[in-house]
Copies of this chain bind each other. A is one copy, B any other.
């Protein structure tokens, strides 16, 4: 008796449940780190069986939108330092263990979106954006130069002070202060040569080989929220990527 959804397009019941749950999370009904109601209660609330409710949550778990803890409950995923380190940060020492980067903000400016940037961020050309330049160090040595472009609209009151005062990752700041949860990234990598300015910042000679990473970060419903270009000195570090399983 629940098979008929009120929308015109057909879709399985558990997809509809998943959509409503995602909507509630995106709307902030349960904040990151908070527990959802128990499966029994949610199933009753949606008027579906526990099996159907669980199938919906299975997919949210697979997409890392929520996390289950047996005996405790189901929680909205957060950007803990560990999650960043193991999920969105791909630079590791050659033959060593992962380590946390130290970030120094070199520049913070307001500007307007170039046409190419606007297209990637789904903005109109000329829309206001924030431009941030960070220098990341690993093991005390500068390794990564990051240039970020953020839609001003999504980060209303973000200032250099707020940015540098954070005591956690930048994605954690997006999440806690602006309710923006980065879930997915798309990256394009290539090799390039250091120009004079970049070489100086990274302590290299002009013309040294650098790994260039262009990233688009997305939140719920594949909405883009950040553009990032990284230049990496791969003398002592590498980018890793595991595909499958």
Contacts and interface: CB of A to CB of B under 8 A. Distances in A.
Interface in A136-171: none
Classify the interface of chain A: helix, strand, loop or mixed: strand
A87 B193 CA distance: 29
Contacts of A238: 188-190
Interface residues of A, number: 34
A66 to B, nearest CB: 14
Q: Which of A186, A192, A210, A241 has most chain B Cβ within 10 Å?
A: A241
A192 B207 CA distance: 11
A242 B189 CA distance: 11
A130 to B, nearest CB: 23
20 contacts: A185-B242, A185-B243, A186-B242, A186-B243, A187-B241, A188-B238, A188-B240, A189-B211, A190-B211, A190-B234, A190-B237, A191-B191, A191-B192, A191-B210, A191-B234, A209-B209, A209-B210, A211-B211, A218-B245, A222-B245
